[in-house]
Amino acid sequence: MTEPREIAERLLDAQVEFVLAEVTGDRFAEVIARDVESVLGVADTLIFRDVVEVDQAKQTVSTIIDLIGGSPVIADMVGVFADSIYDHIANNNDYTLGQVVDREPVEALLEKIFGMHQAQERILDRLTESPLVATVASKFVDKLISDFMEANKQMAGKIPGVSSLISMGQSAAKTARKATESTFIGDMAGKGAVFALKRTNNAIREMLRDAPVHDAAMEFWDLHADEPVSGLRDYLSQRDLNELVLICYEIAITTREKEYFGLLVDECVDVFFTKYGDYTLAAMLPELGLTGADITTEILRYGPAVIDGAKRNGVLAKLIRERLEPFYLSEKVLAILGDA
């Protein structure tokens, strides 16, 4: 009479062989389609908020951001990606900028930016509060006036008698500039710069609201829309792009570590639960743009190669046996087989 353990081992061999057949060859596609359908059937009976708690979701999102966002792979590849894009993708003469980016959303974006009067007002008001900005504005105006006077001097030099008048005016301007080095006059000049900046802000406000700035911006876009994508490299060197990407990455990494960023993430999770918490797990798939067929396709895209590789080196059969053996050789199963 065959011993119970021998029978158990034979059953184990048959089970391992059966499972291997299920996950290899043409049978694998049938099994995946069947199992995905079964899983979605179960998912259609489960409400999202009943199986996932808000605090759990917040912790998961935080972990993903912390681990993946700061992973060595991303840190190592950021600069490499930037260089590769500049060398290969951006150096493309087959596509124009207009073919890559549609005109309509660009126009809508510019229209929105120029229509954000509240933001413009606040930015301009805060600029007038900065003494340094006023100083920069003063130097900028001074530069414009100096260049204007120099241009007029060159033109006047061609007219007898006028060049001497220009020289007298420049001499007077230099004398007045030296006078501003005194504390009182310098302070008055500083206040004058702030006043000039406020007047400049008013001019900017009127220009943004009344002048055809939007049309001018779109005309600038249209001038570039028919040019090859490679033309964008005229605005940025490879080194500039690399450094900009690394700086932006550093901002993202350091911001990710701040407590305030955690509050933003938590709020986003709360909003997500408010909108989708009562959906079933299956009903959320279309909201994510996915279907059961999409899931099946992606599994079949990578699964066969992984499984075939594991089967060839014997790892797959070993893993299946390790999972099933404790059951078949358990005292309870051996007792059942012994009684049979």
131-188 tens-digit pLDDT? 777 677 667 666 666 666 666 666 555 555 445 555 555 555 555 455 444 444 445 5
Place of tokens 């229509």: 115
Q: Torsion-angle region of residue 25: left (phi > 0), alpha (psi -120 to 50) or beta? A: left
* Count of CA atoms in the C-beta half-sphere (13 A) of 248: 10
Domain ranges of the chain: 1-46+283-340, 48-95+237-279, 97-227
pLDDT tens series, the chain, 340 aa: 578 899 999 999 999 999 999 988 888 999 999 999 999 999 999 999 999 999 999 999 988 888 877 788 888 889 999 999 998 888 888 899 999 999 999 999 988 988 888 888 888 888 777 777 767 766 766 666 666 666 666 655 555 544 555 555 555 555 545 544 444 444 555 566 666 677 777 777 777 777 688 888 899 899 889 999 888 888 889 999 999 999 999 998 888 888 999 999 999 999 999 999 999 999 999 998 999 999 999 999 999 999 989 988 889 999 999 999 999 999 999 999 988 7
42, two tokens: 């179960």
Residues pairing with 31 in the sheet: none
pLDDT value at position 16? Answer: 94
Average model confidence (pLDDT) across the chain = 83
- Distance of alpha carbon 173 from alpha carbon 153, whole angstroms: 14
Query: How would DSSP label each residue in 238-269?
Result: HHHHHHHHHHHHHHHHHHHTSHHHHHHHHHHH
Query: How would DSSP label each residue in 54-123?
Result: HHHHHHHHHHHHHHHHT-HHHHHHHHHHHHHIIIIISS-SSSBHHHHS-HHHHHHHHHHHHT-HHHHHHH
CA 140 to chain centre: 36
Amino acid in the structure at residue 4: P
